[in-house]
Structure 1
Amino acid sequence: MKILEVVDKKSIQQFLDITNLIYKDDENYVRPLDIVVNEVFTPEKNPFYKHGSATRFIALDNDGQVVGRVAAFINEKKAFGYEQPTGGMGFFECIKNQEVAFLLFDAAKEWLIQHNMKAMDGPINFGENDNFWGLLIEGFSQASFGMQYNPPYYQAFFEAYGFKTYFEQITNKLDLTKPFPERFWKIAGWVVKKEGYSFKHFRLKNRDKFLSDFETIYNDAWQFHENFVPISKQVLNDTIDKAKSFLEEDIIWFAYHGNKPIGLLVLFPDINQITKHFNGKMNLLNKLRFLWMKKRNVMSRARVVILGIIPKFQKSGIESGLFWHLKGAVEKKPNLTELEISWVGDFNPKMRVLQDSMGADFSKKHITYRYIFDEDKGSNNRASTIPRDTKS
């Protein structure tokens, strides 16, 4: 058994193709597009390289067959904001063999130690937490685009190695064929008629304004998250560029008080319902297939990627107003029958309450783990809870 760092075209392809072995009998698995995974590890494509670094490893058995993979990375803007410098590991895949799993964890750990880290979180992404984040432990149904999926046996590997739960992530779903609770719509109807409030959906032709508004809302609304780092407009522009082929303008909504942006709701159609047929490849033929299936409205699910309200306007019903306007857009798309709200951490009780108020049902649970290299020099405490009242 040996561990190799991914350094050339052959090992890059091996890193990608290991999923064919791990998930060959799993009908729920959707292989992420190779181009999406590769861009995470391409400095010219991933802006996180401006303040971080990353590497990848594969594990080979004695016959030279790839039996596992892992990545390790450091986001310097976050790494030094914890009690101990903390890096990340992710993109973990492994056959059902604890020895292989531990060798991969060791490879990530040693690389991070060489780069002065004292702990690692995982499985996470070298990027924003809306993609490839957390280990799935409940709800092993087909994942939506960007959501993490893995075999159930991975949990035992992580916990036997010494990873401890840092926070839990809950994904809920809304059946759009059923009405929201009456109280929710009463609040929404009151908010949308209230003087001074307005709601607008995203338009690509005005992307610069909307992305500036996004930046304003995000950097205010997320300020109470542990180890908060403001989002940059470059990251937002990159996200829109990658999503242009499938985003729908009228299911991305912004709320305003006067001219001030105060809230946003971002949904993306679940392109996994199409790309599940592509085995990770977006070649010319699959691009044409994608356009054809998209036109046929085969996507029945959309994912709520972000929902946020700036603190001053929280508990004012703005979320209900955003969903009120979203409802009008969704009614024009009869193919959309389900919304996935993914994901909400156990450190965010306000958002949990909001999901309950909408009548959302449980769908999945993920865990983000933390592993302290030397427990005498760090703490395995859970992530800090966001205060319920942040209006002041």
Structure 2
Amino acid sequence: MQLIQVTNKKLIHAFHQLPYSIYKHDKNWIAPLRMMIEDIFNPEKNNTLKKGKASRWVAYKEGKPVGRIAAFHSSNYAHQFDQPTGGVGFFECIDEQEVADALFNVAKKWLTAEGMEAMDGPINIGENFFHWGLLVDGFIPQTFGMNYNPAYYHKLWNNYGFKTYYQQFSYNLDITSPDLPERFWKIAAWTAKKPGYTFENFTFRNQETYIRDFIDIYDQAWSKHDNYKPIDPQDLRDMISQSKLILEEEFIWFVYKEGVPIGFFMMIPDANQLIKYFPSGKMNLLKLIRLYYLKRRKVINRCRVIVMGVIPKFQKSGIESAIFYQLRQVLLRKDWYNEMELSWVGDFNPKMISIFEAVGGKKTITHQTLRYLFDREKEFKRSAIIED
């Protein structure tokens, strides 16, 4: 077996082509757009890489590619834990433990040389909105940005020695359904109309204001939890720029109390419902025009909630339900959207889980974020629960 570091165009092509052999008989897999994955490894497109480093490898056996992996670290992730922690992701592998072990070993060796003492995976080089977690339940076509993998991957990771750091739950909701809990919506409507509160949806024109408000709320809501890492405004600018074709301004909401930002909600259309029409994963001008045409034809009927936050002072005031109330009015108007995925919420966040269940969400998918400590004698600790 050979493990070759990706250093040229030929190996980049092999890195992107390998999943097609893994999923050739799996109808649930939707090939991601190659340019979006490649941008993750480009410091000019991925601001996180300016604060860290990444490497990737392709495994060959008898001359054929049989696996791949990426390893990475960044200053805003590595040093928030008991030990410097890097990450591994974009893992694909045939059902052979020998190959998987070789991939994990090369990543571990590289991360060790970079000063890391543990690795989390499968995760992304950047925000945890996208490409985060190992799918262990709910093997259905995933929404845009959600990881999909064969069921046997869980065995490969566990046999190597990875342990569950936290579980990630995704919920399905038809927000326009008349069967949703009536009491919830009554409280939501009452809260939304309370004096002093204002609700605004995002606009591209004023994106700098909303980026600033997003970071302000995010820092207050998450800074005391061990999954917190500061967000660079440029990361949000990059995400908005790269997603502008599919973003809906009315899917992103902010809440203000007497003009002060106190909460946000961000949802995106499920672009995978468009991307599935481009199975090669490659884009050109004509394909981009067709993608835009399909969007105009309202092919997308599903959306995905990717992040929600309320500052601690207002977390028991019903603001979360009031945001859902605003969003419900939008979806009743844009009635071609009839399915919402609330993804994902960690098992360390019981309050948000209770909100998703109170609004009528049904748990449909489970991912896991795994951790491997290089010192095998060190005590393993799961992610801390967020206390009220």
**Superposition TM-score, scaled by structure 2 size:** 0.98
Take 1:269 and 1:141, find their aligned partners in 2: how far apart are those partners? Answer: 17
Aligned twin of 1:150: 149
2:325 maps to a residue whose letter is: W
Provide Cα deviations, 1:248-267, integer angstroms capped at 9, x if missing partner: 11111111101101111111
The alpha-carbon distance between structure 1 residues 311 and 12, as it changes in their structure 2 partners (threshold 3 A), is same
Query: CA offsets per residue over residues 28-70 of structure 1, 9 Å max, x none?
Result: 10111111111111111111122110000000111x2111100
**1:374 aligns to what?**
375
Contact 2:176/2:331 (8 A) holds in 1: no
Question: Is 2:259 the partner of 1:259?
Answer: yes
Residues 131-164 of structure 1: per-residue CA shift (max 9 Å, x gap):
1100000000001110000000000000000001
Give the TM-score of the pair, scaled to structure 1.
Answer: 0.97
Tell me how far 1:3 sits from its aligned partner. 0.3
Q: 1:95-130, CA deviations, whole angstroms, 9 ceiling, x for partnerless residues?
A: 111111111111111111111211111111111001
**Residue in structure 2 matched with residue 114 of structure 1 by the alignment:** 113
SS at match of 1:331: helix
Q: Is the CA contact 1:215–1:233 (under 8 Å) kept in the aligned structure 2?
A: yes
Alpha-carbon separation, structure 2, partners of 1:61 and 1:200: 55
**C-alpha distance after superposition, 1:331-371 (max 9, x if no partner):** 11121011101000011111011011111001100011111
- 1:345 aligns to what? 346
1:151-207, Cα deviation, whole Å (9 max, x unpaired): 000000000000011000000010234233111111111112211001011111111
Q: 1:77 maps to what in 2? A: 76
CA distance in 1, matches of 2:327, 2:148: 28
- How far apart are residue 227 of structure 1 and its match? 4.8
Stretches of structure 2 lacking an aligned partner (at least 5 in a row): none
Amino acid across the alignment from 2:233: K
SS at match of 2:335: coil
Give 1:286 shift: 1.5
User: Post-superposition shift, 1:239?
Assistant: 1.0
Correspondence 1:1-392 to 2 at 5 A:
1-62=1-62, 64-179=63-178, 180-279=180-279, 280-376=281-377, 378-387=378-387, 389=388
Mapped to 2, the partners of 1:283 and 1:67 lie a distance apart of: 28
* Partner Cα distance (1:380, 1:31) in 2: 35
In 1, the alpha carbon distance for the partners of 2:131 and 2:11 equals: 21
CA distance in 1, matches of 2:175, 2:357: 15
| Conserved? CA contact 1:139–1:365, under 8 Å | yes
Question: Secondary structure of the equivalent of 1:91?
Answer: strand
% same residue: 48
Q: Which amino acid aligns with 2:96?
A: N
Secondary structure of 1:188's aligned partner = helix
**Distance in structure 1 (CA, Å) of the matches to 2:374 and 2:312:** 36
Aligned-partner residue type, residue 349 of structure 2: N
**1:72 Cα deviation after fit:** 0.2
Alpha-carbon distance in structure 2 between the residues aligned to 1:228 and 1:374: 24
The answer (yes or no) to whether the contact 2:143–2:304 under 8 Å persists in 1 is yes
Cα pair 1:251 1:330 within 8 Å, conserved = no
SS for the counterpart of 2:191 is: helix
Contact 2:184 2:321 in 1 (8 A): yes
Distance 2:303 2:225 in 1: 25
